[in-house]
Amino acid sequence: MKVKVTMNKGALRQLSSSQAKAVSMTATELLSDVRNEGAMPFETGNLQNESTHVDDSQVKQGVVKIVSDTPYARRLYHHPEYSFNRSKNASAGGQWWEPYLSGSKRKLPAKLFKQFYQRLNGGLLKR
Write down the domain spans for the chain.
13-121
Half-sphere exposure of 22 (CA within 13 A, CB side): 20
Q: What gap in Å lies between CA 67 and CA 61, rounded to an integer?
A: 17
Report pLDDT digits (tens) over 39-90.
999 999 999 999 999 999 999 898 999 999 998 999 999 998 999 999 999 9
Strand partners, 55: 65
Report pLDDT digits (tens) over 14-31.
888 899 999 999 999 999
Give the predicted TM-score (pTM) of the model: 0.86
Which ranges of 1-127 would DSSP assign to H, the alpha helix?
9-37, 73-77, 98-101, 108-121
